[in-house]
């Protein structure tokens, strides 16, 4: 039986519609629109594309977008001064500093400068601790998007399922593991030093691949009926006559027809990240205004 294709693009579009529908009620109650500030340092082309799409999606959802594009040599101190200014700005509910920062910046110090109440990436020590303790807080966008897709396929209760996460990054692997533990899964974090990787992946009911290595996970590694979430976005070298190579994930999608469901690349996890960023911004806005969290998001 062919695997179900998990349509993250459609799921994200529906989430964005629910967010856009919830924004006017906030704006009425608070007397202002929710606001998201995105800070980009330098001119990495991929980051520029992401930042532009975040800005567009923010405005399309009826929120205010504040874009700060800084020269690569602006310096740590000026960047932190801008973050302090955004922390103080009543109209800003969410602050996202696009990562990675150019060489020479101390990312840890920059993230630590963000007000945890506006930390829509869920990266500050306070939000990391809240996630670890399973307390309310702001959660990193990509892992939260993956959880939404998993719940959509597997239902509310993930108790007792074996989950293997490949990758231990702060943005994806680590928070993903915490979210799955909080959902009562049995969680293994695999990484570049893991031994017997194939064997470990083969026992998983849930596989989350976030290693950034094109089609590393072969179909033969996946057990029948697994649900596979592919966070990787890798561009292959162009074939002769092509200008650009194909985008592929960390999983060999074509080989995975025996699994229960799998996210494609592109069109799987990718579109979820921005949708969850908007969700987190709206949630942060409600909490800052002393309003109950919006429902159904
Ligand atoms: N770079 C790639 N993904 C992300 C993300 O989710 N947040 C931030 N801040 N930077 C990123």
The verdict on the CB of residue 280 being under 6 Å from ligand 1 is: no
Question: What average pLDDT does the segment 13-34 reach?
Answer: 98
The verdict on the CB of residue 231 being under 6 Å from ligand 1 is: no
- Determine, yes or no, domain membership for 149: yes
* Other residues' Cβ atoms within 10 Å of the Cβ of residue 3: 19
Q: What percent of the chain has pLDDT over 70?
A: 100
pLDDT band at 269 (very low <50, low <70, confident <90, very high): very high
- As for how many domains the chain has, the answer is 2
Mean pLDDT of the residues in the chain? 97
- Determine, yes or no, domain membership for 126: no
Q: Which residue from 36, 67, 86, 98 has its CB within 8 A of the most atoms of ligand 1, so it is best to mutate?
A: 98
Cα separation, 26 vs 283, whole angstroms: 10
Residues in the chain: 297
Question: What average pLDDT does the segment 127-156 reach?
Answer: 98
**pTM above 0.95?**
yes
Residues of the domain holding 73: 23-120
Q: What is residue 277's predicted lDDT score, i.e. its pLDDT?
A: 98
Asked if pLDDT for residue 66 goes beyond 80, the answer is yes
pLDDT band at 268 (very low <50, low <70, confident <90, very high): very high
pLDDT 10s digits, 114-126 = 999 999 999 999 9
Q: How far is CA 163 from the centre of its chain?
A: 18
Asked if pLDDT for residue 13 goes beyond 90, the answer is yes
Q: Do residues 156 and 251 share a domain?
A: yes
| Cβ proximity of 249 and 265 under 8 Å | yes
Q: Do residues 88 and 159 share a domain?
A: no
Q: Do residues 240 and 149 share a domain?
A: yes
- Determine, yes or no, domain membership for 220: yes
**Which are the contacts of 156, defined by CB distance < 8 A and separation ≥ 6?**
none
Q: What is residue 275's predicted lDDT score, i.e. its pLDDT?
A: 98
Q: Do residues 242 and 149 share a domain?
A: yes
Q: What is residue 56's predicted lDDT score, i.e. its pLDDT?
A: 98
Question: What average pLDDT does the segment 190-216 reach?
Answer: 98
Active-site residues, by number, are 54, 98, 121
Domain stop point among 64, 88, 120: 120
| CATH (domain of 98) | 3.40.50.10860
- Determine, yes or no, domain membership for 203: yes
Q: Do residues 28 and 111 share a domain?
A: yes
Q: Do residues 264 and 148 share a domain?
A: yes
Q: Do residues 71 and 147 share a domain?
A: no
Question: Is residue 292 packed enough to be buried (19+ CB in 10 Å), middle (13-18) or exposed (0-12)?
Answer: exposed
Q: Which residue from 37, 38, 50 has its CB within 8 A of the most atoms of ligand 1, so it is best to mutate?
A: 50
Q: Do residues 199 and 262 share a domain?
A: yes
| Cβ proximity of 26 and 286 under 8 Å | yes
């Amino acid at each position: 039986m062919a695997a179900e294709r998990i349509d993250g693009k459609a799921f994200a579009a529906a989430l964005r519609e629910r967010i856009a529908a919830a924004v006017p009620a906030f704006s009425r109650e608070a007397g202002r629109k929710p606001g998201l500030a995105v800070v980009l340092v330098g001119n990495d082309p991929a980051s520029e594309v992401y930042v532009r799409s975040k800005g567009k999606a923010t405005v399309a959802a009826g929120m205010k977008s504040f874009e700060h594009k800084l020269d690569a040599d602006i310096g740590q101190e000026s960047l932190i001064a801008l973050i302090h200014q955004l922390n103080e700005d009543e109209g800003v509910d969410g602050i996202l500093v696009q990562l990675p920062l150019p060489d020479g910046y101390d990312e840890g110090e920059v993230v630590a400068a963000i007000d945890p109440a506006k930390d829509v990436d869920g990266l500050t020590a306070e939000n990391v601790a809240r996630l670890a303790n399973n307390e309310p807080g702001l959660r990193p966008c990509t892992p939260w998007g993956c959880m939404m897709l998993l719940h959509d396929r597997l239902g509310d209760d993930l108790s007792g399922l074996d989950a293997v996460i490949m990758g231990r990054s702060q943005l994806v692997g680590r928070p993903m593991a915490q979210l799955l533990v909080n959902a009562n899964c049995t969680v293994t974090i695999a990484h570049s030093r893991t031994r017997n990787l194939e064997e470990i992946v083969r026992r998983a009911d849930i596989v989350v691949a976030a290693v950034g290595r094109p089609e590393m996970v072969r179909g033969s590694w996946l057990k029948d009926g697994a649900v596979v979430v592919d966070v990787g976005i890798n561009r292959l070298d162009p074939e002769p006559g092509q200008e650009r190579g194909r985008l592929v994930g960390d999983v060999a999608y074509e080989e995975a027809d025996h699994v229960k469901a799998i996210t494609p690349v592109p069109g799987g996890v990718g579109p979820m990240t921005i949708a969850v960023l908007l969700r987190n911004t709206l949630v942060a806005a409600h909490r800052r205004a002393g309003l109950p969290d919006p429902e159904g998001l």
